[in-house]
Each structure stands twice: as structure tokens, then as C-alpha cells.
Amino acid sequence: MIDLRSDTVTLPTPQMREAMYRAEVGDDVYGEDPAINRLQEMAAERLGKEAALFVASGTMGNACAMLAHAGRGEAIIVGDESHIYRYEGGGAPMLGGCPMKVIPTEPDGMLDPLKVKLNIDDGSDEHSARTVLLCIENTHNRCGGTALSVEQVEMLTTLAHAHTMKAHMDGARVFNAAVALDIPVSELVRSVDSVMFCLSKGLSAPVGSLLVGSRDFIKRAHRARKALGGGMRQAGILAAAGIVALEQMVDRMAEDHENAQRLAHGLADFPQIDIAVERVMTNMVMFSVRNSAQESLTEADTLQFLAKTQEHGALMGTMGGGKIRAVTHYGIDAQDIAAALAAIRRALIEMRL
Ligand SMILES: Cc1ncc(COP(=O)(O)O)c(C=O)c1O
């Protein structure tokens, strides 16, 4: 089965398994796990920030960041298509009493600075919550893995900082963005106050994410992680795989991006497939299928189409509204892409589209 549902399905590499087996570990709640300490130092250095914190998941990292930046009754600006807003169980509002101000996400994952500005509140009017944090996402998942450039990021962080707000980047796939833009990741995150990135997606480690920022911020995030039950004791077993991920799995992401291009161009050859090839910037391909009347398939027909591609050996996911997502990752090669395209062709024929 060629599993293109997500880069979260990646399995640890043999080098990761070996490093996990040999990991030197200790009680991380006492700060005594050498593998975790090393991973945190590596992450901070790589991203050009003072400190880092190992967390169980991207969701936990984003929650710790929001709790560390915003207090009760302090508002956070997010995009309507952001992972933080749509898929994290309402973390900060639920856990921290922080309202979210939601603005429309542009098709490339950007937030329109004008719309952000209109939602900034300095708290001088007691009717409204003061906005203290702006969250951006890079790469942007629901926009199809689009990468925001340094200029786009800085446009938003400059605006936030001008209003004494902080800026947090949900960089679950920030290494994909840096590889696609061909710049050091530190340059891409230079202007944000905090970044969360995941080890367990395109970097292929089994578990874990890192939250990175100033020493003072990480101290507050550490308290939030404790409150969330994220003190994981001998989790150096997991961090050991993360160290291998940072050392060995970043540069190879370029292959995933090439395979996404292959897939996108192959899909564009089918007249029934609706795809904006120019939007494919990293490891995600988003498309929809049209029927003979040139309309997008209904959600039920989309699910039937996906069941057919699965029958022929290719798994993909739906994002709702007839949108299908395919994600390339470690373990998927050019031959797999050719096989996935063949499965899609057969599904189109069998559904008489
Ligand atoms: C953009 C983005 N942020 C955060 C997360 C959350 O990561 P996790 O699944 O590790 O909680 C994801 C997961 O897919 C994501 O795509």
C-alpha cells in the first residue's frame, strides 16, 4: 500500500531505532535526561533561539506556547484555516481562558496584514480583550503545504511587534519550508518569538516536537508542559530518534518535494482532476476530482473515489469539501508516485468520470 495520507505515517529509520536502543537516559523532570538535553540544545541552536523544550506532540507544543504567551482573558489572533484553530481541541481557550480572534486565511497560507491590524486591540476599551499573540503557520497544512517567505513572515511579525504583541509560528513542517525556500531555518524564524516544530512528520521520528524561543519564554512553557502532564521522565528514548532526525533527515526532504511535483504534474494530465500545480511548494498535493458535468465530486463520491484508489494500492485523505490531500514522505519514491497515478487512473475509469 502506498500511504500518502500524511507524513505522520513515517516509520523510524534503522539509525533511529539503533539510537533509541543505545540512548543514555535519565529523569527529565529533574532535567537529567542527557538525550533530551542534547536534543533541546541542538534544536535551539539550529533555529537560532536561546532555548528549547521537548514536548509530546505538536498540539502540546502549540498549547504550551499559547499558555506561555497569553494569560486569562488575553486574546490570540489566528487564521481560520490554521491547525491551531481547527484541529487542536480548542486548546488555549479551553485551558488558558484565552479567546481567539479568527481572521480569514489567504490561499497561500498568509494572513492579510490589514485584516490582522483590524483585529488588534490594545485593551484600552474594557469591552474587548487585549490581543497579545499572533499565530502563523509555516508550512500551511490546509493550504496544501504552502511556504511563507521570510518577507511574508516579517511583514506579520513586524506588525505584531509594533503593537507589543508576540508572534508564534506553528512550524510543524518548518523544515519543509526552509528546504523549499533554500534558506537556513534560522533565517525563516528569525523574527518570530517562538516556534513549534515536529519531529514526527516529514523528519520521520516516531514521537515528539520541540518548542523553541527565549530562555524566559521556555521557562514559562515548561510550567505549562508540566500542568498538561507532559513531564515524560526517561523520554530520551524518543529524543534519541529526534537527534537522528535533525542530523540526517532534513536535507532529504528535497526528495519529498520532488516527488510531490511528480505527483502534481501527473495529476494535471488527467482532465478530470482540478489542481493548481503552482501551489505545490513542499510535500503536499491538494486536488479535487470533477465529474462529466465539470462539477467537483460530492463528499460521498470523493470518499468512493478514495476507496477505489485504496483498492488499487494508494491511500490518500480528504480535507472536506471535495478536497483530496496526498503527502509525500520518507519511504515514498518516484516508482510509488507512478503506481499511485496508475491507481488514480483506474479509479477514474471505474467511476466513469
Ligand atoms: C500545521 C500543524 N500544526 C500542528 C500539528 C499537530 O501536531 P501533532 O499531531 O503532533 O499534535 C499538525 C499535525 O498534523 C499540523 O499539521
Q: Are 102 and 80 in contact (CB under 8 A)?
A: yes
Query: Is residue 221 located within the same domain as residue 313?
Result: no
159 has pLDDT over 90: yes
Query: Is residue 278 located within the same domain as residue 172?
Result: no
Confidence (pLDDT) at 292: 81
Give per-residue pLDDT as tens, 233-247.
999 999 999 999 999
Query: Whose CA is closest to atom 5 on ligand 1?
Result: 58
Query: Do the domain assignments include residue 1?
Result: no
Of 99-108, 269-278, 293-302, which range is least confident? 293-302
Cβ burial, residue 321 (10 Å; 0-12/13-18/19+): exposed
Closest CA to 15 of 256, 205, 198: 205
Query: Whose CA is closest to atom 4 on ligand 1?
Result: 58
What's the grid cell of residue 76? Answer: 490570540
146 has pLDDT over 90: yes
Q: Confidence band (pLDDT; 50, 70, 90) for 294?
A: confident
C-alpha 270 to ligand 1 mean position (Å): 31
| From 59, 138, 199, mutation site for ligand 1 pocket: most ligand atoms within 8 A of C-beta | 59
Q: How far apart are the first and last CA of the chain?
A: 24
Write down the mean pLDDT value for the chain: 97
Q: Are strands 2-3 and 194-198 parallel, antiparallel or unpaired?
A: unpaired
Residue pointed to by grid coordinates 540544545: 41
Confidence (pLDDT) at 197: 98
Query: Do the domain assignments include residue 97?
Result: yes
> Could you give the percent of the chain with pLDDT greater than 70?
100
Render the burial of 118-128: b for 16+ CB within 10 Å, e for the rest. Answer: eebbeeeeeee
Confidence (pLDDT) at 170: 98
Q: Are strands 2-3 and 314-315 parallel, antiparallel or unpaired?
A: parallel
Confidence (pLDDT) at 139: 98
Query: Is residue 116 located within the same domain as residue 218?
Result: yes
Q: Tell me, what amino acid is at 1?
A: M
Q: Per-residue pLDDT averaged across 311-329, rounded? A: 96
Query: Is residue 222 located within the same domain as residue 263?
Result: no
Give per-residue pLDDT as tens, 261-278.
999 999 999 999 999 999
**In the chain, how many domains are there?**
2
Query: Whose CA is closest to atom 8 on ligand 1?
Result: 58
Ranges of H-type helices in the chain: 14-22, 34-47, 58-69, 83-86, 91-96, 113-118, 150-162, 174-181, 185-188, 215-227, 236-248, 253-268, 299-311, 334-350
Q: Per-residue pLDDT averaged across 78-85, rounded? A: 98
Q: Per-residue pLDDT averaged across 295-302, rounded? A: 92
Cβ burial, residue 271 (10 Å; 0-12/13-18/19+): exposed
CATH code (residue 314): 3.90.1150.10
| Euclidean distance between CA atoms 208 and 264, whole angstroms | 30
Question: Is the CB–ligand 1 distance for residue 69 below 6 Å?
Answer: no
Q: Per-residue pLDDT averaged across 171-181, rounded? A: 98
| From 141, 204, 319, mutation site for ligand 1 pocket: most ligand atoms within 8 A of C-beta | 141
Query: Do the domain assignments include residue 2?
Result: no
Query: Is residue 147 located within the same domain as residue 100?
Result: yes
Atom of ligand 1 nearest to the CA of 60: 11
Confidence (pLDDT) at 38: 98
Q: Per-residue pLDDT averaged across 97-119, rounded? A: 98
| Euclidean distance between CA atoms 299 and 297, whole angstroms | 6
C-alpha 17 to ligand 1 mean position (Å): 23
Closest CA to 190 of 159, 160, 216, 213: 213
Q: Which residue among 248, 281, 316 closes a domain? A: 248
Confidence (pLDDT) at 293: 82
| Euclidean distance between CA atoms 193 and 214, whole angstroms | 7
Closest CA to 193 of 211, 172, 173, 219: 211
CATH code (residue 206): 3.40.640.10
Query: Do the domain assignments include residue 202?
Result: yes
Query: Is residue 213 located within the same domain as residue 86?
Result: yes
Q: Are 143 and 105 in contact (CB under 8 A)?
A: yes
Query: Is residue 149 located within the same domain as residue 52?
Result: yes
C-alpha 150 to ligand 1 mean position (Å): 21
Query: Is residue 345 located within the same domain as residue 280?
Result: yes
Q: Per-residue pLDDT averaged across 89-113, rounded? A: 96
Q: Per-residue pLDDT averaged across 156-171, rounded? A: 98
Which domain covers residue 32, as residue numbers?
7-248
Give per-residue pLDDT as tens, 27-73.
999 999 999 999 999 999 999 999 999 999 999 999 999 999 999 99
Query: Is residue 67 located within the same domain as residue 183?
Result: yes
